[in-house]
A and B are shown apart, each in its own frame.
Chain A
């Protein structure tokens, strides 16, 4: 059975290479039959990878431990659901899963968009199938074929690395059949962690589509906004999945890892954030091209960057280059990835330079006070955050190469630099909505900005007066002088502007149609999904900002060892003092491979009893791995978050760590609003499609 999967993988590799070459030759020599053949090959690749995934699922479910991958990530005791999700439990399966999703997107584009895109499509096939061929090659074991020749040439180091890659093949067979497998990493047995990787991968592979169209547009010199309009929804969907992946990852880290936080600027997290940042800049800046025919080169740069960061992100998560200390060259995957990124990046940039003549701007930037200029500034800020994140992520490698000494920058670096940049983005998020295209009149702008600014300053001053007197580091210095209440003022400023936009639109519709306010609001979304979906996303971002500021500056934590009957206290900055009294430890019912121990704490606030909390500690016996599961009391104001860190003498004494996380739930609520807004913006809009059909390519878009 495993052989069927492996043959499917090899055929997929051969056909994806064929499809890429045939599409290229067919397009250049004007041979439609060859292009059609490339398209059929590409669709066959989707079918073959689907078969490979089905085979691997079969092997996982039936417990075929002779297959190395199955033995690595599953065992007999696992429920069938976890066996299925073990498909992306480790390296080989993840790469197969990634490739399969990529082939689904590539196939869907071919089925949906073939009709009116005959000229662009061959190049879309070239890019998607070439990318796919690279990923499939990593897991099909073909690179090991190079190990022999390289070894005889004396390049033994590289040869060994490549030879090791045989085990990255998900269908690699062991010489014997183990009695049982290792089982899935306990940390991954959580539904947040089960859907987090697929979301992230869908986001990653989704961005390959707009990139492929961008390259196709360059190659065919059809550099109008056709490629942008064609891929707008793909881009939004990719972005939606990537955003969901990031949010779920944060939520999982908060709920499962038990360290009281949700984001640590870890290389693996940054790997997913960086393409998101570039993609977000791209999503905004293409609006300017659609509307005003400007920033064409810039948009190309952004999508090339997004694609490169997607591949770089996969590389970071899959190669372990940076996260671990001694594993720089653990597998041949690292060098191959770097090679692939360099090839794609260089080829894209060369193509871009060659086509600069057909990317001329149709309009000039008229004024600093215009929506275009604000968008440009916003783009710069996103790229600045991207660069800061990139720099911090690769700093250990850079410092080792340059100074010969490994050094790292921790979360304080990212927070100090990115924090103010994010704050500036929130300001722009408000201002941009008030900015007209082309040129703003100063008086009008000042009038529109007056009340939101007053509201923002009022919040800043009132919070400060109420005792919110924390100060953040002023960037560029090491002194804490930036009042944190100002960040809340900034959030208020942007929120007031955005909400006023909703109010104005709603009132106008109410007056013109006589509809009730709620139904006016509903039709507002229906009439202009892009705009109001976008504003809803902004509201989500502001809510997320409330949570981030709250946890970043006002988190309180304490830890203590308690004997039964003793209490620890922790003082919330918002609601007063919590007291947690240790009542005892007991063994809890759990699956047979887990020892579960739960502690009981009686919680009171301000002397009033408010219930019990039960942090638990799971010990996974076969893996010899502990896992600390926090107990939480949720509210919109704050979470009380407690873990049991250890105990002695069967629980006579135990160590607890408690956190108060102010406003943290606004992060998750904001995340939901954010996702809802993206769905609204991406929802098919028949009216918009008709407008495009009327406007025709490559003309202007009718103002929305």
Chain B
């Protein structure tokens, strides 16, 4: 764009440089924020097989794992709100899950579960459970049920 300013050209150009530098500084700062926040908050979304495939590299890191609830493994102590269950991947491999919170209504055999929390090599400690059942309302939709652990 050409300079349309009625007054001195070099002064206006100088000013424009200032504005461009200012804008660039802001843009870089925001990109830096996005970058660091992505790094610190992103968590893997894994299948059971992928969880085992990652080995110790993801121990104690916040991850999400999806799998199907193994019905007979569900054990709930309602007084203490302690829930144990297993989820299975497509190959049938299972992960034992510990959750301190209420048992979701949809916690039944073969329900699709997405658990969020940490895996220590033996057991997955879930902070949040999300259960999905195929919706009757949208062909591609789900009804979801989310429960959080006691904090």
Whether a CB of chain B sits under 8 angstroms from the CB of A73 is yes
In angstroms, Cα B140 to Cα A360, docked, is: 48
Closest A residue, CB atoms, query B6: A364
Interface string of B122-144 (1 = CB under 8 A from A): 00000000001001111111110
Closest A residue, CB atoms, query B141: A320
Whether a CB of chain B sits under 8 angstroms from the CB of A405 is yes
Q: Is the interface of B mostly helix, strand, loop or mixed?
A: mixed
Whether a CB of chain B sits under 8 angstroms from the CB of A180 is no
Q: Enumerate chain B residues within 8 angstroms of A559, measured Cβ to Cβ.
A: 81, 101-102, 150
Q: Enumerate chain A residues within 8 angstroms of B33, measured Cβ to Cβ.
A: 416-417, 420, 475-476
Closest B residue, CB atoms, query A412: B41
In angstroms, Cα B32 to Cα A182, docked, is: 49
Q: Enumerate chain A residues within 8 angstroms of B32, measured Cβ to Cβ.
A: 476
Whether a CB of chain A sits under 8 angstroms from the CB of B109 is no
Q: Enumerate chain B residues within 8 angstroms of A478, measured Cβ to Cβ.
A: 40
Closest B residue, CB atoms, query A384: B30
A89 contacts B137, C-beta separation under 8 Å:
yes
In angstroms, Cα B89 to Cα A667, docked, is: 43
A325 contacts B114, C-beta separation under 8 Å:
yes
Q: Enumerate chain B residues within 8 angstroms of A380, measured Cβ to Cβ.
A: 23, 26-27
Within 8 A of B (CB), among A357-388: 360-365, 368, 373, 377, 380, 384, 387-388
In angstroms, Cα B76 to Cα A678, docked, is: 52
Closest B residue, CB atoms, query A363: B4
Whether a CB of chain B sits under 8 angstroms from the CB of A516 is no
Given contacts A360-B4, A395-B42, A657-B102, contact A561 B81 (CB under 8 A): yes
B105 contacts A626, C-beta separation under 8 Å:
yes
Q: Enumerate chain B residues within 8 angstroms of A420, measured Cβ to Cβ.
A: 33
A388 contacts B1, C-beta separation under 8 Å:
no
In angstroms, Cα B79 to Cα A395, docked, is: 39
In angstroms, Cα B140 to Cα A167, docked, is: 12
Whether a CB of chain B sits under 8 angstroms from the CB of A575 is no
In angstroms, Cα B150 to Cα A645, docked, is: 12
B146 contacts A653, C-beta separation under 8 Å:
no
Q: Enumerate chain B residues within 8 angstroms of A470, measured Cβ to Cβ.
A: none
Closest A residue, CB atoms, query B54: A405
Q: How far is the CB of A205 from chain B (nearest CB, A)?
A: 22
Q: Which of A187, A259, A365, A409 contacts B146 (CB 8 A)?
A: A259
Q: Which of A72, A259, A377 contacts B137 (CB 8 A)?
A: A72
In angstroms, Cα B23 to Cα A365, docked, is: 14
A646 contacts B15, C-beta separation under 8 Å:
no
Q: How far is the CB of B86 from chain A (nearest CB, A)?
A: 19
Interface string of A330-341 (1 = CB under 8 A from B): 110000000000
Whether a CB of chain B sits under 8 angstroms from the CB of A155 is no
Whether a CB of chain A sits under 8 angstroms from the CB of B78 is yes
Whether a CB of chain A sits under 8 angstroms from the CB of B17 is no
Q: Enumerate chain B residues within 8 angstroms of A185, measured Cβ to Cβ.
A: 135-137, 143
Q: Enumerate chain B residues within 8 angstroms of A182, measured Cβ to Cβ.
A: 136-137
In angstroms, Cα B15 to Cα A214, docked, is: 30
In angstroms, Cα B81 to Cα A292, docked, is: 64
Q: How far is the CB of A437 from chain B (nearest CB, A)?
A: 16
Q: Enumerate chain B residues within 8 angstroms of A331, measured Cβ to Cβ.
A: 139-140
In angstroms, Cα B104 to Cα A626, docked, is: 10
Interface string of B30-50 (1 = CB under 8 A from A): 101110111011111110001
Q: How far is the CB of A594 from chain B (nearest CB, A)?
A: 15
Whether a CB of chain B sits under 8 angstroms from the CB of A220 is no
Whether a CB of chain B sits under 8 angstroms from the CB of A527 is no
In angstroms, Cα B145 to Cα A32, docked, is: 58
Given contacts A406-B44, A476-B36, contact A646 B26 (CB under 8 A): no
B140 contacts A327, C-beta separation under 8 Å:
yes
Whether a CB of chain B sits under 8 angstroms from the CB of A391 is yes
B45 contacts A325, C-beta separation under 8 Å:
yes
Within 8 A of B (CB), among A637-665: 645-646, 648, 653, 655, 657
A407 contacts B44, C-beta separation under 8 Å:
yes
Interface string of A400-432 (1 = CB under 8 A from B): 000001111110110011001100000000000
B102 contacts A645, C-beta separation under 8 Å:
yes
Q: Enumerate chain A residues within 8 angstroms of B79, measured Cβ to Cβ.
A: 561, 653
Within 8 A of B (CB), among A138-191: 167, 182, 184-185, 187
Closest B residue, CB atoms, query A557: B151
B81 contacts A413, C-beta separation under 8 Å:
no
Q: How far is the CB of A287 from chain B (nearest CB, A)?
A: 19
A167 contacts B139, C-beta separation under 8 Å:
yes
Whether a CB of chain B sits under 8 angstroms from the CB of A558 is yes
Closest B residue, CB atoms, query A330: B140
Whether a CB of chain B sits under 8 angstroms from the CB of A567 is no
Whether a CB of chain B sits under 8 angstroms from the CB of A560 is yes
Q: Enumerate chain A residues within 8 angstroms of B37, measured Cβ to Cβ.
A: 409, 413, 416-417, 475
Q: Enumerate chain A residues within 8 angstroms of B55, measured Cβ to Cβ.
A: none
A408 contacts B15, C-beta separation under 8 Å:
no
Q: Enumerate chain B residues within 8 angstroms of A412, measured Cβ to Cβ.
A: 41
Whether a CB of chain B sits under 8 angstroms from the CB of A396 is yes
B43 contacts A655, C-beta separation under 8 Å:
no
Q: Enumerate chain B residues within 8 angstroms of A377, measured Cβ to Cβ.
A: 26
Whether a CB of chain A sits under 8 angstroms from the CB of B111 is no
Q: Enumerate chain A residues within 8 angstroms of B41, measured Cβ to Cβ.
A: 409-410, 412-413, 416
Whether a CB of chain B sits under 8 angstroms from the CB of A91 is yes
Within 8 A of A (CB), among B58-82: 64, 66, 78-81
A364 contacts B5, C-beta separation under 8 Å:
yes
Within 8 A of B (CB), among A469-507: 475-478
In angstroms, Cα B4 to Cα A362, docked, is: 7
Q: Enumerate chain A residues within 8 angstroms of B106, measured Cβ to Cβ.
A: 626
Given contacts A625-B143, A655-B102, contact A561 B80 (CB under 8 A): yes
In angstroms, Cα B44 to Cα A396, docked, is: 9
Interface string of A601-641 (1 = CB under 8 A from B): 00000000000000000000001011000000000000000
Whether a CB of chain B sits under 8 angstroms from the CB of A90 is yes
Best-surrounded residue of B3, B15, B41 (most CB of chain A within 10 A): B41
Closest A residue, CB atoms, query B101: A559
Whether a CB of chain B sits under 8 angstroms from the CB of A399 is yes
Whether a CB of chain B sits under 8 angstroms from the CB of A324 is yes
B80 contacts A73, C-beta separation under 8 Å:
no
Q: Enumerate chain A residues within 8 angstroms of B22, measured Cβ to Cβ.
A: 368
Q: Which of A360, A408, A655 contacts B2 (CB 8 A)?
A: A360
In angstroms, Cα B138 to Cα A440, docked, is: 57
Q: How far is the CB of B11 from chain A (nearest CB, A)?
A: 10
Q: How far is the CB of B3 from chain A (nearest CB, A)?
A: 8
Q: How far is the CB of A354 from chain B (nearest CB, A)?
A: 15
Q: Which of A364, A557, A558, A645 contacts B147 (CB 8 A)?
A: A645
Q: Enumerate chain A residues within 8 angstroms of B103, measured Cβ to Cβ.
A: 646
Closest A residue, CB atoms, query B12: A364
Q: Which of A324, A373, A557 contacts B142 (CB 8 A)?
A: A324
Q: Which of B27, B43, B132 contacts A410 (CB 8 A)?
A: B43
A-contacting residues of B (Cβ < 8 Å)? 1-5, 12, 15-16, 18-19, 22-23, 26-27, 30, 32-34, 36-38, 40-46, 50, 64, 66, 78-81, 101-103, 105-106, 114, 132, 135-143, 145-148, 150-151
Cross-chain pairs A/B with CB under 8 angstroms, 10 sampled: A182-B136, A185-B137, A320-B138, A380-B27, A384-B30, A387-B30, A395-B42, A409-B37, A421-B30, A561-B79
B-contacting residues of A (Cβ < 8 Å)? 72-73, 89-91, 167, 182, 184-185, 187, 259, 320, 324-325, 327, 330-331, 356, 360-365, 368, 373, 377, 380, 384, 387-388, 391, 395-396, 399, 405-410, 412-413, 416-417, 420-421, 475-478, 557-561, 623, 625-626, 645-646, 648, 653, 655, 657
Using A325-B66, A327-B140, A362-B4 as known contacts, list a sample of 8 further A-B pairs with CB atoms less than 8 Å apart, ordered by residue number in A.
A324-B140, A324-B142, A360-B2, A363-B5, A364-B3, A413-B37, A478-B40, A645-B102
